């Protein structure tokens, strides 16, 4: 037995150099946009396992047995980050009926497909801001290797007032929900229930909390702008979340609910459609991030205007002008100096179309370099993952994408992503 053990140890020692090389990958990059630091040309990016080991000037020859990937005619960037998606959902003409016809297994199969589709267009990390709870299982499946998709930071189920944007009973027959959902399902009124709702989501495995501070567009409630949570409720939600080590993101279209959420200490405002300059000032003061989701706004406006019968009438009226308004708000917030992180609200439009947000952000007046930073290092900072992802530098995870052309000159280069690596593993190479 002792001889077998000795032989096994010798085998490991002999195999170690081979194992080291077999896990290495050399990438020859024609142009490198590391986000931190200046762009470089003709460099070699060396990946060891799931980590960036080093960046070398010139095209370094790969050792024998080491994988070499030729990206000499590409621009190489950090993996992209979308701070607002919904993998459990994709808006269509039957969405309002599917709430009653789809079970968790149906949703799970679709969510896995949407996640893979999102990874394939370059998004190696996302924040999923609300569903039935399948998003937590999907995160775990991806982390365990049972599904392919981006790294997921998830809020589990959304927190909403009774009859609010996140209440699934809004607009439905009362007898279909008996008893009606409570704090366990994220529907909470009053500070005590809000505290319990936060604790329930964290207990279930949520990485963050999402609260509906105002009404919304796609819910069957009449108005999407009115404030929903009172100041003491929002303060309780944020304080409870902080005590448990997680942040709170606030869905908000109307300005008053937005202002209350900012003053309560949420980490980000999602959508921010009717944001006033005073609220922008408050966000700058408190360091609150803005996640604009222009693509979703444009998608619902187009569907409301051109696709007859796509939405119920109560939704169509709210959706008509939301896209142009969000885009205008983004332009004002950017000029004002509000911190902006990339987020699309994918699921309101088809998953895999996330890259359109780059073009819409440029149309709002953002510089290309700032847009790329919003989708990488700034998004990573919002998610408190900036030490692991968001820029290409030694020691960080090997989340790497490549595009044709130079997005610093033409942001439309981001519309097609032919190469995707996550955690050192190549998921796409055209």
Which pLDDT value is given to residue 3?
52
**Residue ranges, CATH 2.30.40.10, the chain:** 21-78+391-429
Q: How far apart are CA 87 and CA 113, in angstroms?
A: 9
**Residue 171 pLDDT > 90:** no
Which pLDDT value is given to residue 214?
97
275 neighbors 255 (Cβ within 8 angstroms) = yes
Instruction: State pLDDT tens for residues 228-252.
Output: 999 999 999 999 999 999 999 999 9
Residues 6+ apart with CB under 8 A from 184: 197, 200
Tell me what the mean pLDDT of segment 71-80 comes to. Answer: 98
> Bigger pLDDT: 260 or 184?
260
Residues 6+ apart with CB under 8 A from 203: none
203 Cα distance to chain centroid: 22
**Residue 173 pLDDT > 80:** no
Averaged pLDDT score across all residues of the chain:
93
**Residue ranges, CATH 3.20.20.140, the chain:** 80-382
* Cα atoms found within 13 Å of the Cα of residue 373, Cβ hemisphere only: 13
Instruction: State pLDDT tens for residues 243-300.
Output: 999 999 999 999 999 999 999 999 999 999 999 999 999 999 999 999 999 999 999 9
Instruction: Tell me which of 3.20.20.70, 3.40.50.300, 3.20.20.140, 1.20.120.530 is the CATH number of domain 80-382.
Output: 3.20.20.140
Angle (deg, nearest 10), helices 322-336 and 277-286: 50
**Residue 20 pLDDT > 50:** no
CB neighbours (10 Å) of residue 99?
14
Which pLDDT value is given to residue 183?
85
Which pLDDT value is given to residue 224?
86
pLDDT band (50, 70, 90) for residue 7: very low
Tell me what the mean pLDDT of segment 208-225 comes to. Answer: 91
Residue 369's SS3 state is helix
The single residue listed with the structure tokens 């290409």 is 392
Instruction: State pLDDT tens for residues 320-376.
Output: 889 899 999 999 999 999 999 999 999 999 999 999 999 999 999 999 999 999 999
**Residue 167 pLDDT > 90:** no
Which pLDDT value is given to residue 306?
87
Give the residue among 289, 266, 247, 270 at the shortest CA–CA distance from 344. Answer: 270
**Residue 63 pLDDT > 50:** yes
> Bigger pLDDT: 419 or 221?
419
Report percent pLDDT > 90 for the chain: 82
Give the residue among 149, 94, 152, 156 at the shortest CA–CA distance from 122. Answer: 149
**Residue 12 pLDDT > 50:** no
Residue 361's SS3 state is helix
CA-to-CA dists, residue 108 to 154, 224, 268, angstroms: 15, 29, 27
CATH code that applies to domain 21-78+391-429: 2.30.40.10
Burial class (CB in 10 A: 0-12, 13-18, 19+), 239: middle
Residue 265, Ramachandran bin (φ over 0: left; ψ between -120 and 50: alpha; else beta) = left
368 neighbors 409 (Cβ within 8 angstroms) = yes
Tell me what the mean pLDDT of segment 379-386 comes to. Answer: 98
244 neighbors 200 (Cβ within 8 angstroms) = no
pTM above 0.75, yes or no: yes
pLDDT band (50, 70, 90) for residue 22: low
Tell me what the mean pLDDT of segment 176-205 comes to. Answer: 91
Which pLDDT value is given to residue 16?
44
pLDDT band (50, 70, 90) for residue 139: very high
> Bigger pLDDT: 375 or 17?
375
Which pLDDT value is given to residue 98?
86
327-346 residues labelled b (16+ CB within 10 A) or e (exposed)? bebbbebbeeebbbbbbbbb
Q: How far apart are CA 316 and CA 251, in angstroms?
A: 19
């Amino acid at each position: 037995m002792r001889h077998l053990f000795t032989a096994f140890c010798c085998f490991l020692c002999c195999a170690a150099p081979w194992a080291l090389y077999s896990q290495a990958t050399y990438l020859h990059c024609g142009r490198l946009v590391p986000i931190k630091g200046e762009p470089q040309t003709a460099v070699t990016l060396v990946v060891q396992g799931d980590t960036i080991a080093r960046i070398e000037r010139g095209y370094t020859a790969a050792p024998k047995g080491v994988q070499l990937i030729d990206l000499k005619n590409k621009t190489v960037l950090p993996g992209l980050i979308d701070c607002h998606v919904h993998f459990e959902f994709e808006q269509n003409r039957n969405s309002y009926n599917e709430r009653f016809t789809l079970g968790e297994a149906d949703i799970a199969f679709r969510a896995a497909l949407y996640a893979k589709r999102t990874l394939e267009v370059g998004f190696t990390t996302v924040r999923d801001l609300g569903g039935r709870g399948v998003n937590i299982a999907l995160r775990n499946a991806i982390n365990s290797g049972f599904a392919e998709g981006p790294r997921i930071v998830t809020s589990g189920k959304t927190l909403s007032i009774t009859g609010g944007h996140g209440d699934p009973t809004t607009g439905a027959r009362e007898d279909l929900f008996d008893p009606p959902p409570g704090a366990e399902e994220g529907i909470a009124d009053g500070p005590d229930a809000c505290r319990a709702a936060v604790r329930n989501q964290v207990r279930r495995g949520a990485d963050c909390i999402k609260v509906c501070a105002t009404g919304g567009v796609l819910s069957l409630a009449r108005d999407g702008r009115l404030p929903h949570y009172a100041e003491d409720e929002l303060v309780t939600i944020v304080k409870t979340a902080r005590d448990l080590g997680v942040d709170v993101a606030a869905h908000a279209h109307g300005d008053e609910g937005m202002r209350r959420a900012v003053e309560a200490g949420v980490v980000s405002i999602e959508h921010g459609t009717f944001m006033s300059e005073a609220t922008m000032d408050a966000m700058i003061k408190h360091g609150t991030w803005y996640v604009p989701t222009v693509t979703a706004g444009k998608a619902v406006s187009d569907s409301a205007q051109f696709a007859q019968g796509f939405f119920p009438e109560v939704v169509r009226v709210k959706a008509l002008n939301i896209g142009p308004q969000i885009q205008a708000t983004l332009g004002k917030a950017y000029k004002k100096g509000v911190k902006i992180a990339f987020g699309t609200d994918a699921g309101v439009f088809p998953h895999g179309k996330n890259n359109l947000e780059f073009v819409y952000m440029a149309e709002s007046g953002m510089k290309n370099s700032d847009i790329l930073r919003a989708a990488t290092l700034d998004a990573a900072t919002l998610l408190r993952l900036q030490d692991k992802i968001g820029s290409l530098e030694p020691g960080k995870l090997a989340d790497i994408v490549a595009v044709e052309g130079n997005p610093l000159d033409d942001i439309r280069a981001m519309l097609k992503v032919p190469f995707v690596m996550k955690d050192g593993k190549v998921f796409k190479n055209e």
